[in-house]
Amino acid sequence: MISLRHLTKTYGRGHAAVTVLDHLDFEVPTGRIAAVVGPSGAGKSTLAQCINLLERPTSGAVVVNGEELSGLPEKRLREARRRIGTVFQSSSLLSRRTAAENIALPLEYLGVTPGEARARVAELLDRVGLSDKAGHYPFQLSGGQAQRVGIARALALRPSILLADEATSGLDPDTTRSVVGLIRQLRNDLDLTVVFITHEMDTVRQVADTVARLDHGRIVEQGDLVELLTSHDSLLGRSLQPRRGHAGPEAGTRTWYVTYDSTDVPGDWIQRFTGDLGAVVHLLGASVETVHGVNTGSATLGIGADDDARVRGALARYGLSGTPDGGGGSQSHQLLTAAAVLEDVA
């Protein structure tokens, strides 16, 4: 378990001082994967550097398994870093060392005997599925393989906390999926506590148990991933939904943005909803996926009915929630726009 208490990080002094983290409180229970998202400039990288103790917070505490680490003297701080494994953005491998030598780096720093280190490295290579790549240099590895080596290196000293700092940024979707799968697998096998910092909402839906949104140096919203995804009023939940383009509405219909607002939306809701409403319903766009066993997603519909309240009522019957486009000024519309902006910035 890791908890951050009133974490504050200020750079500079006096009038030039910039507060990047502002009394941030955050906690990840043992064995959970918590994603931290937020626009650039929100303080994500500073947060990462405070968690793996590369930066000392100006005030506040980083507590790992009940022990306060951020206030330790320099030498002890270096030892404390070993309890937190960090997976960096791809291409963080030393170019003149093989995969095995890269993984051995933390063991080497610790002063582990070469024999022990070899055994541990072999075990780690096996765990990340790269036993046949031990002697390969980084330039011979694909992005996904390099990142697996990065993960193995982060785990070399058996940390209880794994910090992934934009670990999948720059990887293609398939590779991201496999790296994320590996992280979840390792979490299950090793009971790791994972802090997954990213700006990619698609990745968050694949990896996270809980999600927190960082903005202006504070956690402004957090919650369980599925709850957020099925919550109509959550800005964070909205921004987690994939937002793709959709077809234009036909004459006589109105565009509605519909989100899955509960955990038990029936698979045939479109058919049933259309029957209930007794009006024309065009499917203009949709994205539905199963997250932790629950169907979540959104759809854009062109609906040939004028009575908003009736449409809303019909949707609500199936655990859905709808917002007409062009409604103007409504709270949900603003929320929607804000969510889109959030995604843009990210």
Footprint of another protein on this chain (CB under 8 A)? 52, 54, 78-79, 81-82, 84, 86, 88-89, 91-92, 94-97, 105-106, 108-110, 137, 139-140, 153, 156-157
The amino acid at residue 6 is H
Give the nearest distance from C-beta 108 to another protein in angstroms: 7
**110 or 247: CB nearest another protein:** 110
Contacts of 236 (CB under 8 A, 6+ apart): 37, 211, 213, 221, 222, 223, 228
Note the Cα 230 to chain centre separation in Å: 17
**2 or 311: CB nearest another protein:** 2
Q: Which has the closest alpha carbon to 192: 155, 150, 156, 144?
A: 155
Q: Is 202 helix (H, G, I), strand (E, B) or coil?
A: helix
Give the nearest distance from C-beta 50 to another protein in angstroms: 12
Compute the distance between CA of residue 284 and CA of residue 17 in angstroms, rounded to an integer: 49
Give exposure, 318-327, as e/b (b: 16+ Cβ within 10 Å).
Answer: bbbbbbbeee
- Evaluated on CA atoms 272, 274, 277, 278, the torsion sign reads negative
> Which pair of tokens denotes residue 329?
């000024």
Question: Would you call 58 exposed, middle or buried from its count of C-beta atoms within 10 A (0-12, 13-18, 19+)?
Answer: middle
Give the nearest distance from C-beta 147 to another protein in angstroms: 13
**86 or 323: CB nearest another protein:** 86
Give the nearest distance from C-beta 99 to another protein in angstroms: 11
**100 or 336: CB nearest another protein:** 100
- Which residue in this structure is represented by tokens 């509960």? 262
**99 or 314: CB nearest another protein:** 99
Give the nearest distance from C-beta 132 to another protein in angstroms: 16
**68 or 79: CB nearest another protein:** 79
**90 or 259: CB nearest another protein:** 90
- Please state, as a whole number, how many other Cβ atoms lie within 10 Å of the Cβ of residue 316: 13
Give the nearest distance from C-beta 102 to another protein in angstroms: 9
Give the nearest distance from C-beta 164 to another protein in angstroms: 12
